[in-house]
Amino acid sequence: MNAPDRYERFVVPEGTKNLTCLCSPHQIQTTSQSSPTQAYNQVIDDLDKELDYLKKGFEVCCSPLHVV
């Protein structure tokens, strides 16, 4: 069979640029004043706001009247 050896699937070729993401958020955490449900709802609200911000930025950049 022509399949590569299993270990070769995990070898990163020389010269490959690695990407490190240091800005990814941490797990959802609660405090003594909040329940897991409240923390989850807050995360969803924050995500919704961030997506709205990105959408508005995209719409401004890609609008037909936008001149660079």
Confidence grade of residue 8 (pLDDT, cut at 50, 70, 90): low
Task: For residues 50 and 44, give the distance between their C-alpha atoms in angstroms, rounded to a whole number.
Answer: 10
* Residue 18: alpha-carbon gap to chain centroid: 17
HSE-CB for 63 with a 13 A CA cutoff: 8
Higher pLDDT, 63 or 55: 55
pLDDT at 14: 84
Q: Inform me whether the pLDDT recorded for 20 exceeds 70.
A: no
- Amino acid identity of residue 66, one-letter, is H
